[in-house]
Amino acid sequence: MAEVRRERADAARNRQAILKATESLLSEYPAEQVSMERIAAAAGVGKGTVFHRFGSRAGLMRELMLERAHALREAVTHGPPPLGPGAPPRQRLPAFLDAVVDVVGRNKGLLAALGQAAPGGAPEDSAEQSSVYWFWQGHISALIAEERPDLDAELLAHILLGALQNGSVAHMLGQGETRRLATSLRLLATGALEAPIRRP
């Protein structure tokens, strides 16, 4: 039993080492230069260990994004304000948008790597990735609706998140301009919360 527990602990350490190495490499190099061999060497494990744990390069890239997204979800639901509960929507919404940009921005090249890793050059629409998006969209929508029930919160949430899928914006993120994007999203969000409604 002790041996089994040690093996599980070793596997957990290897997993974290691989994810940390992948994130570090993606922050320094273009996605196409971050190979499984390079990741294994940076993590101090064999290439076979990486494939055994994640199955493929696509699997590794998805796992890294989901790891960061799950950490953000935990902060939103149980962390301190303004990201977590306890602050008004006008504070929580900008904080959440900053955090979303940080998740994507500090993993420079991660979105591109996901696209390259999946068949056909496009990210796989996994249930996990879909659940991440809908949590983000739902949280943004709920904050907007709480502050401004007169707005189309659902559509505004899609529009704000849609900025991350824009090719030019993705290029900016790859160039490290996360602060610029975060500032602009903050302006859009706070402007929407403060703008009067003019009906046609």
* Residues 87 and 31 both lie in one domain: no
The pTM score is 0.76
Structure confidence by residue, pLDDT tens digits, 37-53: 999 999 999 999 999 99
Which CATH number does the domain housing residue 169 bear?
A: 1.10.357.10
Residue 153 falls in which region: left (phi positive, over 0), alpha (psi -120 to 50) or beta: alpha
Extended strands (E) in 34-186: none
pLDDT at 192 over 80: yes
163 and 125: one domain?
Answer: yes
Amino acid identity, residue 176? G
Q: State what percent of residues in the chain have pLDDT above 70.
A: 82
Q: Residue 117: which pLDDT band, with cuts at 50, 70 and 90?
A: very low
Q: What is the pLDDT of residues 141-150, one digit of tens each?
A: 999 999 999 9
Q: Residues 34, 115: one domain?
A: no
Total count of domains within the chain: 2
Domain that holds residue 9: 1-55
Which stretch of 11-15, 64-68, 119-123 has the lowest confidence by average pLDDT?
119-123
What CATH number corresponds to the domain at position 42?
1.10.10.60
Closest C-alpha among 138, 190, 182 to residue 164: 182
The answer to whether 103 touches 68, Cβ cutoff 8 Å, is yes
Q: Which of the four pLDDT bands, split at 50, 70 and 90, describes residue 123?
A: very low
* 144-179 CB burial, b ≥16 within 10 A, e <16: bbebbeebebeebbeebbebbeeeebbebbbeebbe
